[in-house]
Structure 1
């Protein structure tokens, strides 16, 4: 009985280098993550001890070039994200926050000195970054952020608060987005700067093997050269968010696939009425539906990856994958849980953990509603939400 669904020969669409990345990361997840993830999730423990291994695999800033970054393709990065999330969304989130958000912000918008200072050590896993955009009262509408940076002589002084910031309590540097007299700007804030406080959010019902924090900024004084010189307006953080959203479009497929594989293996072994439940028509119907959704999601993600590698990926296309693939992954995880019956609520099996994690994934980097409106605006030419603010114009 096949475990990994490949009804359409998806493997045949990949080249040798892409398959090698996928195989290598899948082996790491099988050996180093899956045996322990139930315990980590139960204890709300993020395995920071794996960071050097993730760096050695070339997964930190994987799709960035120069400054010690691996410089791999968008498709290779996507396949790696898929395999990491087959272990747990928290692991893929770490790689996403580190590479697609914090490192990407520095790579896209930083000065040469900032790039030289931070990117090589972050690629090696010796420094960890976080990305502070969301606030307690500013999520889908970041233009309403109230964190403010004011000039004081040659320095900047930051005051405000951020919420749901991944990795902040273990980070060495925070990319903080703040209003200024000249619009939204980005700043690199070493986390040992006086006035910077990161507090992990607990308890959580989702993403338990991951770190999300509240950040308090109280008269945080940083030098003028801490500003990201090329970051002007909200388009700057949005460009980083699109990198993360692209990875999510791939990553959620891993959670769906692991849920499917778990359900398929269980159905082949679980005996009821003197036969395995895999022999029942209703069970087979569920398995087929799950496999079809995974196949479709893979094709969507691969198309985006090819477009990205060709330099032709548009933001609304990223919304297609983030919205559609995350919806599909949640449906697969929930359906897989039903095949497990009562055993599905046990930590021994992954689908319920994946389903809980995916509720967070569908919210961060743009909720279902926001991506629906992005696509609605693209289809109709009529924005149904405030899409351009004065802060973005500046």
Structure 2
């Protein structure tokens, strides 16, 4: 009997060891892990450089307080701001906390309280970020949500002018809706959000928690588009498994986020920062990011070829190594069939198989995954025919 609250529906696989793109379970079975901690293990399990940095940090200093200066925080912040147009960083522990910080900062900076978010979005499970999320299933049973969030259709630029106005504190958008079904935004949609935010003074906020830190083949996913958000939220892949989140902004926001305005006891923890420092040193290299793009294009092309005759497949889409296979059969059943092939994947939305390889996965591993997915879909066709 477990003493844990049953807040998670767990798969019947118990990992005990991981290295690179693979995990081994308690039965000794080896799986290719293309869940990667839900886009967290961007360098795979236990990468040597991150492991060494964490061990070195553990031997010297684990935790102090944000009342004291930290060179390792400055190093990570410098790498983050150096990769885009931002100049300031606030560190926290998760994507939900990063989005909470963005909401607080936008409200204080603008003096307004109304936010525009989008249907099928996901921004976290705290009360404010749950209210911001455009999915009713995560709100069930928790009573009335915060009334300052308005959820409108995604990827419909023509309607935005009807909602973004001088009362709007901010617009929060994912450039690729992850939990919502791996749905990339159009350039026109994001440009119109930016244009209306500039006109009205609302903060343009990109939630890059799942799609950031190289996952789409850019340092940050918004860099696929000709846009400049005011605020950017990060987490997941930033620490490669150690809890860390971040909010990025620029000099305009300093007065609104001055001393005492916000804080986090564990935000910017030395061990998490040591991991993030090494992660960014690796991922924010031009050659590395180019390979992510090339691997993503290769993987999607191989999947489309392997599944071209499958009647269950509706679409294969994504950016970089953030991949979705939309299907017309129950998603939970297909996830189980893929797991049975010793490949770990998960779902997104109601009918999308979500595939999140480590960014340093090999072409041989991608080929292995394609064959496992092809076999899983073929077995499903066989079972339908038998019925």
- Scaled to the shorter chain, the TM-score interval is under 0.3
TM superposition score normalised by structure 2: 0.24
TM superposition score normalised by structure 1: 0.24
The structure showing larger relative contact order (alpha-carbon pairs under 8 Å, at least 6 residues apart) is: 2
Name the structure where helix makes up a greater proportion of residues.
1
